[in-house]
Amino acid sequence: MIVALPGTAASIEYISKFPESTLYPSEQVNLEFCIRDLSFNEKLELNTQLIDPVWTIEIKDGGETILLNGKGPTFILPKLDSKTVTVHLSGKTPIDISDKTISLIYIIDKESNRVIDSRLSKVYGTSSILQIIYKNDEIINDMKLTAKTLEKDGVNVTDIQNKLNEATKLNTEANNLYNKGDFISVKRNIQNVEQIISDIDATLEKAEGERQSIKQDKTRTQAIVSIVVVLVIIVIVIVLSIRRKRVPPRKKL
């Protein structure tokens, strides 16, 4: 993706993709982009709200490559004339109780103090992660109750129960990892749990269709049995009636 810098001849080409989903605390972020056609009059300041950021700058001028390194939230590029600059930035997302939106990268023209470009990303707070774990636990328990109902109605739920047991195990592990502050492992477990929940949800829909089919079969069977019973009773009544007619009346003494 190429972004033209307003008021300048320069442009930015983002090589790495920006995160599309919400990031987790202490998650590693790596960005790479090129700034092209800078003029000598432009002095750019690169900023980030990532934690412990590391900058690696490659400046190409013809066949020569100059490497610059830096740490910290800000890196000021030297004034350059028609150079191509490749920026590598790595850092981690902050840890906070509440959700927050941070600037992964924002670029300022120091000459005019204008923000030339900015890329934002949402980061989960620790309280939100705990709520996700609790919510998944509620969903799993609700699914277990649904599975029991299906089983009572004659549906085979062995596969569903096995998946629910696996989801329970992973969600419990996620809670333990949360208590240890290992949020990256928590993210992996939560993603696995949510994938299993999604799979179970699709399976439950099919199982519900099977349950309805079983109920319909039972209803039809009960109806047939009822009809047969009625017919048997009618036949018995008819037979008894015929027998009574055939028996001669007793003579009076």
pTM confidence score: 0.74
Q: How many whole angstroms separate alpha carbon 17 and alpha carbon 48?
A: 16
How many residues would you count in the chain?
A: 253
> Domain coordinates of the chain in residue numbers?
2-123, 126-233
pLDDT at residue 13, rounded to an integer = 83
Q: Is 225's pLDDT higher than 80?
A: no
pLDDT at residue 153, rounded to an integer = 79
First-to-last CA distance in the chain?
119
Percent of the chain with pLDDT over 70: 79
pLDDT in tens, 57-92: 998 777 778 889 999 999 998 876 657 889 999 999
Q: How many whole angstroms separate alpha carbon 34 and alpha carbon 11?
A: 8
Q: Is 155's pLDDT higher than 90?
A: no
pLDDT in tens, 162-214: 999 999 999 999 999 999 999 999 999 999 999 999 999 888 888 776 666 65
Q: Is 2's pLDDT higher than 60?
A: no
- Fold of the CATH domain 2-123: Jelly Rolls (2.60.120)
